[in-house]
Each structure stands twice: as structure tokens, then as C-alpha cells.
Structure 1
Amino acid sequence: MTALSSTAVPPIPISAPVLVLETLALETAVTALIDRVFGPGRFAKVSERLREGNRLLADCSFVALREGQPVGCVRLWPVSVGGQAVAFLGPLAVDPGERSVGLGQVLVEQACEAARIAGWKAVLLVGDAPYFTRAGFSAARTAGIALPGPVDQRRVLLKALVEGGDEGLSGMVTLT
């Protein structure tokens, strides 16, 4: 019996997804991704109240494409906290087959940088603190922020995009 060759076959590199701004042409495919990731329960969440009837910040919302198909997305929306404008992040959706490689973090960081460039002072979200603190979000200055429905206040997170951008935000979150 002969031994198999010990020559290793080099791995075939798998390219990273390409990040693009979300467009109307991608909306149906992105919505299908969000539905797959979150299911119908997402419509019951308070965050959905801030997206209904709102307008997407197209210059700050990104889609990760692999072979032309969305495998991740992050959306930002304009809202007001007690009369002060902030961007509201959500949903962040990553296809289950693409998780654990940092794609969600890349999407969040790209959206926050685009929001900073667009002149937003802060980004607000409702989400998992251990996950989002890695991208600079914190609950330290959110005690006075109220959402239009029940929410676990520990999940209300904020990120300043400019010095002091997260200071003095208090009141109800509403559509702008």
C-alpha cells in the first residue's frame, strides 16, 4: 500500500462580500434577507415603530453582497430625541452562513462613519449591549431617552459621532 502524498492542497480563497449603499433596486432582496433573519416577530418590536412611515438614510445604509445577493445589511433612519436629530440604526441583519466572521461589525462601522460624514452627531439603537459596545455604543447616556413602546432600557444604546454628540439627549424618540 502506498502512502498518500503529503502535499497540501492550497485552500481556495473565498472573497469577502462587497459593501454597497442600499438602493431601491436592492430593496426587495434586502427585505427578504431581513425577513429570513428576524421572521415576522420583528414587526412587534418598538424599533419597527420608528421605521414605519420613515425614510431610509440612503447615504448611510449598506448592503453586503456575495455573488450579487445580499448576505448582510444595515439601515439608518432619521429620528429625533427630544427635538434633537440623531440617526437610528436598525435592522442589522447578517445571513446565518455569514456570521462569526465580523461582517456585522463592518456593516455597523461603515454605517456610523457614513453618518458622521453626512453630519449626524450620534447614532441610537436598541440592541445587544455586549455586541454593540465593540463598535463604540453605550447605555451610559440613554437614561433619559424614551421610545414609543415598551423596551428594555439596558438595550437602548448610543454612539457619539462627534465630540459631545451623545450629550444632553433626553425625551421621546419620534420621527423627524
Structure 2
Amino acid sequence: MTDLSLDLALETPSDHAAIERLHERAFGPGRFARTAFRLREGVDPYHSLCFTARVGTLLVGSIRLSPVEIGRGVAAVLLGPITIDPAFQGKGIGGALMRRAMETARREGHRLVMLVGDAPYYERFGFIVVQPGRLALPGPVDPGRLLVAELVPGAFDGVAGRVRGGRVPA
């Protein structure tokens, strides 16, 4: 990010309309049928883990993280969506949002993050491909795109089962 002045900040309610337009441009109407969307449906995100990226006053990126539960009550965080305005892709904005969200999640005591995404991109943030059959999601997922990252070493040891939307603790 040498040629853009990027401002990362917590998402606010006034950002919602711009973020929804960004999601619509990036993912289209088919986003509602995706398995990861189904996990987030009706689930409030962790507001302290949702960030925006701006260049000047223009919102150019967004990342959200939501609670999920795996198997018999293992708490985890679902990363996504992460969205970058197509005109600003390839400029390091996604990486900046990822680092901020992952560092904040670790600092807040979260242990495990999962996502559905491109392994070669997310490996640099500590994500690995989940062994096929270890986790069951509420819809189809390409097994090579189901990823996890331990924020605490060993957090994924022995974790298996159905993944479902969780709730932000009170």
C-alpha cells in the first residue's frame, strides 16, 4: 500500500448500505445461495471484528467475522465476506483487512477461524485446508476451499462435526 492512503476502521451502522452495494457488485445476487452466506444468515457478526477500508471518503473494502459452532459446542469465527471494490483489487487492501481482523480476533481471545475461500491466497494468513469429511456445512463446499486457521496453537486438534451459525456471547 505505498500509493494509496488507506484508512481501516470499525464498521459502523452508517456503512451498511455502502457495504451491501459493494457485496452486490462483487458477488452478485447468487451470494445468498452460497453455503457461507447460509451460515451467517440470521447471525449477528462480531461488531468488534468488522472493519472497513477507505481511500479518502470512498469505502473500498469490508471484512466481517461471525460466530459459528462446530460439533459439540466448539466456538469458532467464520471469516467473510471480505470484499474489495473491483477497481481497488490487487493493491493490498484485502491483506490489510485480513491482518487487522485476525490480530483483533486473537487479541479478543478467539481461538479458531474458518472460511470458504482460495487456499493459495489465505495460506499466507495461516489458513490450511480442512481434511475432507472432518467438517459438515449446511450446503455444498469444494473441499479444497474449506479452510481453518488456529489463533491459538492446537485449537483445531480433535475438532470435527457439523458447523452451524452461532451467537455472539452477551
Map 1:1-176 onto structure 2 (within 5 A).
Answer: 14-82=3-71, 83-140=73-130, 143-176=133-166
Q: Is the 8 A contact 1:19 1:62 kept in 2?
A: yes
Q: Which has the larger radius of gyration?
A: 1
TM-score by length of 2: 0.91
Q: Which runs of 4+ in 1 moved over 2 A?
A: 13-16, 140-143
Q: Which runs of 5+ in 2 are unaligned?
A: none
Q: Is the 8 A contact 2:130 2:146 kept in 1?
A: no
Q: Which amino acid aligns with 2:38?
A: R
Q: How many percent identity over aligned positions? A: 42
Q: Which runs of 5+ in 1 are unaligned?
A: 1-12
Q: Is the 8 A contact 2:62 2:82 kept in 1?
A: yes
TM-score by length of 1: 0.88
Cα 1:125–1:106 change in 2 (3 A) is same
RMSD: 1.5
Cα 1:142–1:60 change in 2 (3 A) is farther
